[in-house]
Chain A
Amino acid sequence: MISQYIVNGLLTGGLYACLAVGFSLVWGVLNVVNMLHGSMVVLGAYFCLYGVQQLGLPLYAVAPVACVILFVFGYAIQRGLLNRVITQPILITLTLTFGLDLIVNNLIIHVFSATPQSLVTNFGTIEFAGVRVPVVRVGGMLVAVVLTLVLYWLLRHSKIGRAIIAVRMDRHAAALMGIRIPHIYALTFGIGAFMAGAAGCAMALIYPVTPMMSGVFLGKAFVICVLGGLGSVPGAIIGGLVLGVVEGLGTLTLGQQWATSVGFIMMMAVIVLFPTGIMGKKGYE
């Protein structure tokens, strides 16, 4: 019984990691709390649904396109709007992305309607040591985790990745090194959007998605980001898995309705108890 909950938690946690990593990257590098993130996840899910259901295209073709569209969308938002207020106080950038979120969410409702939609997929279930899991969830989780790991590898080993890390550490020094800050900011936001789109596609495979869920997705991203540390990719993976398991165990012990609260309470506890970050990373400022 408990192992079933833990496995479920880990599977969800993998998705959560993918969901949060973009949010965390944007927060860590740009110092922007991106309230638009949840809607970008929903947008990814709807692009995926639209491609598969309306256009009849295969999933493996639709999902990458959805992610790329979101990357372009994210890049444009940052380059066109956010870069102009990036040095303003937190309240400004946060409220701005919140306003954008209202607009995007309203557009999604109009274009795709607000009824819950999901891809009907049945790839069967696998059973291992008394734990039953649907194949699609394992698949979704694997794709999400692999993408997150690829992002981690790119940040560490590609030229652009190093530039992003450099900007995160010290934007002034990075600018002196000839890094084009506005471009890197926009790329970072674009990558965040790309990952949100990927998470959306994976979500669409597993859960019915509605535009109203953007708030839920955003909430998860918050919690994971605080748990794992700002802008840290491994942190997002760990935070995602921890949150998945804690929610699973919360459901088991307190009931489904408390699962979300457990996550939030955990986050507030972390914020208050570890004002320098649970992984000891810099950034609580």
Chain B
Amino acid sequence: MTKATTPVLELKSVSRLFEGIRAVDNVSLKLYAGEIVGLIGPNGAGKTTLVNLISGFLSVSSGDVIFDGASITHKKPHVIAQSGIARTFQIVQPFAKMTVLENVMAGAIYAGHRGMVQARDKAIECLEFTKLAHLKDMPASELALANRKRLELAKSLAMNPRVLMLDEVNAGLNSSEIDEAIRMIRSIAATGITIVVIEHLMRVVTALAERTVVLHHGAVASEGPTDEVMRDPKVIEAYLGNKFAQRFAETSGAPVARPA
């Protein structure tokens, strides 16, 4: 996974205001092909807002989003999806009354630019990858949580994305399900897709991401190789508060930030 010289996705001083509050504050980021980047931060740090801004769900108040050399700053969500940025939702949003296969086909048809028949083939391929193929005729609403998360993943994969943003894709899963998901995400990245992992679970981030960005109060608090970021006092402070950070500094251990 060598880094290309030009980023696939670049954020230039992106901000978003909600009635005067800066939910995302002057965030600049560069993402390169095939890398897995962790995006962490305490509750309300603006992680999901950032994903919404990139995917066009919210409009950017100021700044620029560059994808593949072209600005997508004020593009509509479907245009951004078609151009190759896929995302999953924290609260999964399947087409409940459609079958699992049809759900994934939807991704393959519109953003994946395929005809109905090719879309079906692609969808089956994605379902096999995410180990859902045996459930393809089941209505999406009847899936258990872990499988619904996988369905989101399969749907996004079918979109032929170049950037895939996974918003809390592991929340609510048990330990073995998480291991499985980590393996899947690694093999997706191996195909050259850039992955942004938005997580609460540090275990997932440390296992996956070479690079991690920490958001706090909407701004980038720390950025760098994951293990270094985890030791950054600013990160510990963001998660655990001022006093904790001082105490850790005093004991001068090498604590790993763990969210409360």
Q: Do chains A and B touch in the complex (CB under 8 A)?
A: no
* A residues at B contact (CB < 8 Å): none
* B residues at A contact (CB < 8 Å): none
